[in-house]
Amino acid sequence: MAYDLENMLVVGVASSALFDLTDADAIFREHGEARYREYQETHIANALKPGVAFPFIKRLLSLNDLSQDGVPLVEVIVLSSNDPETGLRVMRSIAHHGLPISRAVFMQGRSPFKFMGALNMSLFLSQNEKDVRIALSMGFAAGQVLGLPAADPKGTDLRIAFDFDGVLADDSSERVMQAEGLPAFHAHETEHLEVPLPEGRLSEFLRGINRIQDIEEKLVDAQPDYNRRVHVAIVTARNAPSHERVVRTLKSWGVRVNDAFFLGGVEKAKVLRVLKPHLFFDDQLGHLQTAADEIPSVHVPFGVVNEVKGA
pTM for this structure? 0.94
pLDDT at 201: 96
- Residue 310: which pLDDT band, with cuts at 50, 70 and 90? very low
- Candidate list 131, 163, 165, 282, residue with the active-site label: 163
Q: How far apart are CA 191 and CA 180, in angstroms?
A: 15
Asked whether the beta carbons of 17 and 126 are under 8 A apart, the reply is yes
107-142 burial, b at 16+ Cβ within 10 Å, e below that, comes to beeebbbeebeeebbbbbbbbbeebbbbbbeeebbb
Q: How far apart are CA 129 and CA 299, in angstroms?
A: 9
Which range (23-37, 128-142, 144-158) has the least confidence?
23-37
Which range (30-34, 108-112, 181-185, 286-290) has the least confidence?
30-34
- Tell me the per-residue pLDDT of 239-281, one tens digit each, with 9 for 90 and over: 999 999 999 999 999 999 999 999 998 999 999 999 999 999 9
**Mind listing the domains of the chain with CATH numbers?**
9-146 (3.40.50.1000), 158-306 (3.40.50)
Q: Residue 23 pLDDT > 90, yes or no?
A: no
SS3 string, the chain, reads CCCCCCCCEEEEECHHHHECCHHHHHHHHHHCHHHHHHHHHHCCCCCCCECCCHHHHHHHHHHHHHCCCCCCCEEEEEEECCCCCCCHHHHHHHHHCCCCCCEEEECCCCCCHHHCCCCCEEEEEECCHHHHHHHHHCCCCEEEEECCCCCCCCCCCEEEEECCECCCECCHHHHHHHHHCHHHHHHHHHHCCCCCCCECCCHHHHHHHHHHHHHHHHHHHHCCCCCCCEEEEEEECCCCCCHHHHHHHHHHHCCCCCEEEECCCCCHHHHHHHHCCCEEEECCHHHHHCCCCCCCEEECCCCHHHCCCCC
- Tell me the per-residue pLDDT of 152-170, one tens digit each, with 9 for 90 and over: 767 889 999 999 999 999 9
Q: How far apart are CA 90 and CA 84, in angstroms?
A: 10
- Tell me the per-residue pLDDT of 24-75, one tens digit each, with 9 for 90 and over: 778 878 877 778 777 788 888 889 999 999 999 999 999 999 998 889 999 9
Mean pLDDT of 114-121: 94
Q: Residue 105 pLDDT > 50, yes or no?
A: yes
- Residue 291: which pLDDT band, with cuts at 50, 70 and 90? confident
Asked whether the beta carbons of 36 and 259 are under 8 A apart, the reply is no
Active site residue 163: yes
pLDDT at 82: 81
